[in-house]
Amino acid sequence: MNRYLFVHTSIIIISFLSNCNAEECKYDIPMNEDFNLDRRECLCNSEGDKFCLNKSGYLELNDVQFQQKGPGDYLTLQGDGNLVLYTEELNIFDFNAVWDIQDGKKFKNPNSAIGFHNHMLMLYEMDSDGDPESLDGDGYPEYYWAAAEVDGSWLGCDNQVLNCNQCSSYHCDKSDCKYEWEMEKNQKLHRGECLCNSEYDKFCLNKSGYLELDGPNFDQKSPAKFEQKGPGDSLRLQDDGNLVVYTDENDVVWDIFAGRWWFSDRYSEPRLMLDDQGPYLHSDYSSDYYWGVEVDDSSFVCYNHVLDCDECGSYHC
């Protein structure tokens, strides 16, 4: 538990309302199971805190956005205690959900409610009066998920259900992580597989066949997708140092060398690494990377030193 986020105070039950102006936070209705938030609707308290689904379909806590798989249309607190943001576009994402806390699994957290405790949003079991069912030794609600806005710029979360300090379950899930930290030459990713690091960042060939970059270190509201000529079936790090997305027919839909073979020690023994700045390629025979991605302020820039180009794929160079 991230205790540095908390300060003792009383529980404030949040209310269901149609927008976030403090003057209109007048409904004293606890947010409990089967309540919904649609776009442009918020939960607020008398101290100015607000938890909203904004007009673009992204969740916000005190104006700081959550990371999601994509925009959603309605948020619901289900009877099993899962807080889920659904999209009305069916069959686009697993369970038609773009964000949740229980990874779509049926955990039992009955009689759940969501409330603010000293500006921190908490999910907890409530009693018949709408108060937390139990408190811990320090007087805090025995929550199973909590989120707080920190320094006006990022969100700190504690997910007791999945034993993870990420806000969304899909950042907690590492079942798609085929490699940790690095890929070596002749290794590959297939659809739905990722290169990951210990901070829940991921560089993946997604299920649709497109490269994407996602994770808490990359300040983007949804995964950043790379532009390709079309969907591919595998990402391969070749022994010539080229990183290539192939189809099952062996067609190239994305690479960094423009299909050329580069006979240089600089690119021999290549490794694809993923750190908190983004993925990058380097060689055992070079002190610097020869291709990389840097993420900053909700955008990402690629550096291709092979083709002397600031584009991610060679066909843009």
Nearest in space to 211 (alpha carbons), one of 87, 63, 312: 312
pLDDT in tens, 24-35: 443 345 577 767
Nearest in space to 197 (alpha carbons), one of 224, 177, 211: 177
Task: Give strand pairing partners of 50.
Answer: 44
Q: Which amino acid is it at 76?
A: T
Q: Measure the CA–CA gap between 107 and 129, rounded to whole angstroms.
A: 23
Convert 77-90 to b/e letters by CB count within 10 Å (16 or more is b).
beeebbbbbbbeee
To which CATH superfamily is domain 177-316 assigned? Bulb-type lectin domain (2.90.10.10)
For residue 47, is it left (φ>0), alpha (ψ between -120 and 50) or beta?
Answer: alpha
Q: What is the pLDDT of residue 210?
A: 94
Domain 3-172 matches domain 177-316 at the CATH topology level: yes
Q: Measure the CA–CA gap between 180 and 278, rounded to whole angstroms.
A: 13
Query: What parts of the chain have a pLDDT lower than 50?
Result: 1-28
pLDDT in tens, 47-65: 888 999 999 999 999 999 9
Task: Give strand pairing partners of 147.
Answer: 121, 157
Residue 298: CB atoms within 10 Å: 11
Q: Three-class SS string for the chain?
A: CCHHHCCCCCEEECEEECCCCHHHCCCCCCEECCCEEECCEEEECCCCCEEEECCCCCEEECCEECCCCCCCCEEEECCCCCEEEECCCCCCCHHHEEEECCCCCCCCCCCEEEEEECCEEEEEEECCCCCECCECCCCCECEEEEEEEECCCEEEEEECCCCECCCCHHHHCCCCEEEECEEECCCEEECCEEEECCCCCEEEECCCCCEEEECCCCCCCCCEECCCCCCCCEEEECCCCCEEEECCCCCEEEECCCCCCCCCHHHCCEEEEEECCEEEEEECCCCCEEEEEEEECCEEEEEECCCCECCCCHHHC
CATH for 3-172 (3.30.390.30, 2.60.40.420, 3.40.50.720, 2.90.10.10): 2.90.10.10
What is the residue extent of each domain of the chain?
Answer: 3-172, 177-316
Q: What is the pLDDT of residue 45?
A: 84
Nearest in space to 126 (alpha carbons), one of 7, 31, 36: 31
Q: What is the pLDDT of residue 279?
A: 92
pLDDT, mean over the chain = 81
Q: Measure the CA–CA gap between 64 and 79, rounded to whole angstroms.
A: 27
Q: Measure the CA–CA gap between 202 and 69, rounded to whole angstroms.
A: 13
**Cβ–Cβ < 8 Å for 271, 195:** no
Q: What is the pLDDT of residue 10?
A: 37
Q: What is the pLDDT of residue 193?
A: 93
